[in-house]
Amino acid sequence: MPTYSYRCTECENAFDIQQSFTDESLTVCPACEGSLRKVFSPVGVTFSGSGFYRTDSRSKPADSKPAAAAKTPAPSTPSFTSSTN
Ligand SMILES: [Zn+2]
């Protein structure tokens, strides 16, 4: 059963609750009966420690510059200008 995080927009009350997919989302704060807002940050993921920076390193190990240089089809069409007219 997934755990959902809610946060109140009125009193900043935040809590986690286990709900099934078929359960309705909570909309009323149990503390102040204000409007609840669903928090989509996954529960159980710790952002402290090593591993968090891995999402930031998107640079590929292969360089993209030689691939763009090989894209130039210069010597492929030599008879284009001579066959005109
Ligand atoms: Zn509240």
Distance (angstroms) between ligand 1 centre and the Cα of 41 equals: 19
Distance (angstroms) between ligand 1 centre and the Cα of 82 equals: 79
The model's pLDDT over 14-49, given as tens digits with 9 standing for 90+, comes to 999 999 989 888 999 999 999 999 987 655 555 555
For residues 6 and 37, what is the distance between their CA atoms, to the nearest angstrom?
Answer: 6
Q: Give the lowest-confidence range in 11-15, 28-32, 74-78.
A: 74-78
Distance (angstroms) between ligand 1 centre and the Cα of 15 equals: 10
Distance (angstroms) between ligand 1 centre and the Cα of 35 equals: 7
Mean pLDDT (the chain) is: 74
Distance (angstroms) between ligand 1 centre and the Cα of 24 equals: 18
Distance (angstroms) between ligand 1 centre and the Cα of 30 equals: 7
Distance (angstroms) between ligand 1 centre and the Cα of 43 equals: 20
